[in-house]
Amino acid sequence: MINRPKKSCLLNLTTFTFVIVFLYIPILLLIIYSFNDSKFISSWRGFTFKYYHLLFQNKDIINSFKNTMLIAVLSTIFSTILGLFSALALENKKFKGAKFFQGLIFIPLIMPDILMGVSLALLFSFVKVKMGMLTVLFAHITFCVSYTIIVIQSRLEGFDYNLIDAAMDLGANKRQIFFKIQLPLLMPGIIAAALLAFTLSIDDFMITFFTSGRGFNTLPVYVEGAIRRGTITTINALSTLMIGLALFFVVISKRVRKYIINI
């Protein structure tokens, strides 16, 4: 066994504690002040649930939430399917242009969101497409698909292709190989890619802002407008519920991954 110095262990523990506190103190304050009976965040005037009650009565927030979830679910489905088949294509040794397209995949990851939002807005304006749900959906699929390809590709790096050769020797066709061998083994990576795409879609503001047009708001766009109008208290309640929803998806994803691994 390696005996590590106590000072080094104490320093690492202190650094880790500082990072955790720095990350979660703002979230904790947001949750606490969502119950604050005051219109201003600078003062505490008592405990209340009235902003949660107002939240569920606000039709604009409810519609924005529905739009956000609809775009997130659809973009996750399409970007994950596209990412799966694109990753499989890039892993094909017969595909001579794989390295070139691999480089193109990384461009949306390093491109600033504002640049992508403006370029997509110009594209939709050039082809004379009315801004709305379809343009936002297309934009979300565009920036999510690069992430899903990379996540699924990382799962493919450890894939044992001898299993495919053995299945072919036993008479399995391409469809059976895909659904009974490749897909189950890639499922943890597919779930991770889908969760990442879902999170990115829910969280996106900049690209959605440039591609949504008038009359179609998602939660990030609505929140930005509400903060400018000064209705921060309702937004605190909304953010607290979104944090709870995110934790729920984290727990569900871990259970699903454990279930798939144990099969």
Residue-wise pLDDT tens digits, 211-232: 987 878 888 888 888 777 766 6
Structure tokens at 162: 């001898």
Domain boundaries, the chain: 59-262
Please tell me which residue, 196 or 257, carries the higher pLDDT value. Answer: 196
The fold of the 59-262 domain, in CATH, is MetI-like fold (1.10.3720)
Give me the pLDDT at residue 91, please. 79
Of 60-64, 125-129, 231-235, least confident by mean pLDDT is 231-235
Rounded average pLDDT over 76-89: 92
CB-facing half-sphere around the CA of 196: CA atoms within 13 A: 19
**CA-angle at 34, arms to 21 and 202, nearest 5°:** 75
Structure tokens at 169: 């020797």
**pLDDT class of 187 with cuts at 50, 70, 90:** confident
**pLDDT class of 177 with cuts at 50, 70, 90:** confident
* Other residues' Cβ atoms within 10 Å of the Cβ of residue 177: 16
Interatomic CA distance for residues 69 and 71, integer angstroms:
6
Interatomic CA distance for residues 209 and 18, integer angstroms:
35
Asked if 194 and 76 count as a contact pair (C-beta separation under 8 A), the reply is yes
Give me the pLDDT at residue 1, please. 45
211-241 as b/e: b if 16+ CB within 10 A:
bbbeebbbbbbbbbebeeeebbbbbbbbbbe
**CA-angle at 34, arms to 57 and 39, nearest 5°:** 80
| Percent of the chain residues topping a pLDDT of 70 | 88
Rounded average pLDDT over 108-124: 88
Give me the pLDDT at residue 191, please. 87
CA neighbor of 98 nearest in space, from 149, 174, 139: 149
Those residues whose C-beta lies under 8 Å from the C-beta of residue 136, and which sit 6 or more positions away, are 71, 208, 211, 212, 216, 218
The Cα-based distances of 198 to 27, 47, 97, 140 in angstroms read 21, 33, 29, 10
Condensed to tens digits (0 to 9), the pLDDT of residues 6-63 reads 566 676 778 878 888 888 888 888 888 888 877 666 677 778 888 888 888 888 888 9
Give me the pLDDT at residue 71, please. 94
Condensed to tens digits (0 to 9), the pLDDT of residues 134-164 reads 999 999 999 999 999 998 988 887 777 777 7
pLDDT exceeds 70 at position 255: yes
Those residues whose C-beta lies under 8 Å from the C-beta of residue 34, and which sit 6 or more positions away, are 51, 52, 233, 236, 237, 239, 240
Helix, strand or coil, per DSSP, at residue 130? coil
Give me the chain's average pLDDT, please.
82
The Cα-based distances of 259 to 38, 246, 248, 256 in angstroms read 45, 20, 17, 5
pTM beyond 0.75, yes or no: yes
Structure tokens at 237: 């309640």
Give me the pLDDT at residue 41, please. 64
